[in-house]
Every structure is written in C-alpha cells, then in structure tokens.
Amino acid sequence: MDVRIHESWKKLLQEEFDKDYFQTLVNFVKSEYATKTIFPPAKLIFNAFDLCPPENVKVVILGQDPYHGVGQAHGLCFSVPDGVKQPPSLVNIFKEIRDDVQTPIPVSGNLERWAQQGVLLLNATLTVRAHQAGSHQKHGWETFTDSVIQIISQHCDHVVFLLWGAYAGQKTGLIDTSKHLILKSVHPSPLSAYGGFFGNKHFSQANDFLLAYGKTPIIW
C-alpha cells in the first residue's frame, strides 16, 4: 500500500507496508481517527521518520507510546512542541544531559533539533487515544517498529541505541551488537530515574562512540 513517509524510508519499509498486518493496522488507525480523539495529529504519525531519514540515523531513542495529553504528542518520542510544558521524563533527560555534557536545560521541550542531527525518536506505538495510555498497543504498531529497528541494524553502520526502561530493553535482540552500541538503563520517569538513569552518562558515551567512527557528535 502507499504510505506517506520520507522517500528513503519508503524504499526500506515498502515490504512491511505491503504485509497483511499493516493493512489491518491502517484500517484500525483510520477508524480510530474518524471516531475518537487520537494523538498525534494524523499528519505527524511518521514525523520521526520524516525528520530523520535512514541515511542520517546516528542514534535511536526508543519510547513506548505517544503522550496522550492535549497538544503534547507530535510524532517524536519524549518530545513536546514549543510552548508546551516539559513532561517529567523529559525534564529528567535534560537534567542528565546538563550533568553529563554540561549543556544548559533548554526552555523548549521540542526535540526536532535532535532529529535533524540524526537522532531517530521512535515510539514503539505511533498513535494513542486521548487520555488513555497504551490504548493503541497490540494492534500492529509494535510489529512495524520492531522491523524498523531490525532494518536500521541491518542497513546502517555504527548506530547508538538508547534503551531506557524494561520495555525498551526487550528490543536488544533485534540489534546487531557487533557493529552498533546499545546503552541501557532504567527509564527517566520520576518513578525510576534515581535508580540508575541519573548518572548513566549515555549522552557523552553516545558521542564518544560516534566520534570513534568518524561521525559528528550530537549537540544535545
């Protein structure tokens, strides 16, 4: 089927788009948007892919599903648009960056600037009902995003995968560790951040890895 997504991704993912499960997923998602309030706005479902084509991917950060509050989700995991209050997990991410690489905490929680540098901000589930966390899980998105991770592992070289929390950590088996770096810790949520997210130094470690392979580091 024809999916509106960055042309480079389209070539890599077309086989996935043509599978029966993906058509079933599309039908479910279209029905949900037609009858309920769903986030992100439909035109931003593939925003992470459009801002970070496969040839640019240096780092993958994996979230679980989009923010389910009004005005928060815009297709990039952990990110919120300009002018929207930073959610607690994002606040903790910025605190760790400040302590790790001495970058001041920004006013905006919009992470498009990361995406444009080669950070794929990928949620495992790309849509959600308003105020119902996890409501679009187990409808096919996870099958799709697992394939995305495998395709990155196969087609890209020397990518850093930041896997925070138990859910993201389960994706380790999809990644070829002979050429990619996996950095795991607890989730940046306030419920767990003090159990090993703070002090994990993932941002400096990611940049050290990129530099070692002649890539430009990320300005976090």
Residue 65 annotated to the active site = yes
Contact 197, 208 (CB under 8 A): no
Contact 118, 217 (CB under 8 A): no
- Per-residue tokens: 150: 């495998």
As a whole number of angstroms, the distance between CA 10 and CA 109 comes to: 28
- Per-residue tokens: 18: 């043509």
As a whole number of angstroms, the distance between CA 8 and CA 172 comes to: 25
Degrees, nearest 5: CA angle 56-58-60: 110
As a whole number of angstroms, the distance between CA 50 and CA 141 comes to: 17
Q: Indicate which residue of 2, 18, 50, 65 is catalytic.
A: 65
Contact 142, 148 (CB under 8 A): no
Active site residues: 65
